[in-house]
Amino acid sequence: MIVFPGFQALDVFGPLDALNVLAFTTKINLTVIADTLDPVSTNKVSWTNSSVGATFGETILPSHTFANAPPLDVLMIPGGLGTRAPGTGLDNTIAFIKERYPTVKYLISVCTGAGVVARAGVLDGKCATTNKLAWATTTPWGPKVKWVAEARWVQDGNIWTSSGVSAGIDVTIAWIASVFGEAKAVSVANGMEYHRQTNSTDDPFSALYGLTNEKNSTNQAVDKC
């Protein structure tokens, strides 16, 4: 799991909790990767120009840096306001994704994390989705991507991309079903007491924000991916 300042909490901890439950019965290991080993915070109030004055946020402690990360089977990239910060400061993140993608078995992005992956060129020619509220600011990062608006998540080969925030849980459980079997996925969802979405095309938020596959000329229907 890659983290950066301003990551969205549920983008990270939702998928990780599904994997926590999976780890009760399946041997998997977690690597948390960032620029440095310093704690990484969700809080980016310094550049949001918020008049509220809240300093609410959480931190996570990386286990590795981009320089010493071990070989990975799965590379996960969250979204969050940090993907849209002035200057973003994500050059090392983008370079790491571009470098490691050819050697991983799977890549999973959550929310606006798809925009970061797109900037690495990994999604060129691929079908993908992202956060619907941030659609207009995220999809331009991938002009060669086949963006799918009406999707909770999209799988294209070994790349899985999800819609916004909570959709990261659904895409992770869907990935678990694909890799470890439906019984494992059901067990994980039940263990979390989570009502999972099993239909990847059922996304009420695309309609909420006026996005349809027909209306957006750059989009491709999921069944064409």
Which pLDDT score, from 0 to 100, does residue 169 have? 99
Confidence of residue 89 (pLDDT cuts 50, 70, 90): confident
Q: Which of 86-90, 144-148, 202-206 has the lowest mean pLDDT?
A: 86-90
Residue 210: pLDDT above 70?
yes
Which pLDDT score, from 0 to 100, does residue 223 have? 52
**Those residues with Cβ within 8 angstroms of residue 33's Cβ, 6 or more apart along the chain or in another chain:** 1, 2, 3, 62, 63, 64, 65, 66, 69, 96
Does 105 or 45 have the greater pLDDT score?
Answer: 105
75-95 mean pLDDT: 88
pLDDT digits (tens, 9 = 90+) for 167-178: 999 999 999 999
Q: What is the pTM of this model?
A: 0.93
- The two tokens of residue 212 are 């349809």
Whole-number Å distance between alpha carbons of 72 and 77 = 13
How do the domains of the chain map onto residue ranges? 9-27+70-224
Cβ atoms < 10 Å from Cβ of 67: 10
Output the CATH code of domain 9-27+70-224.
3.40.50.880
Q: Provide, rounded to the nearest whole percent, the portion of the chain with pLDDT above 70.
A: 89
Measured on CA atoms in the order 139, 143, 144, 150, is the torsion positive or negative? Answer: positive
Q: Which of 55-59, 126-130, 213-217 has the lowest mean pLDDT?
A: 213-217
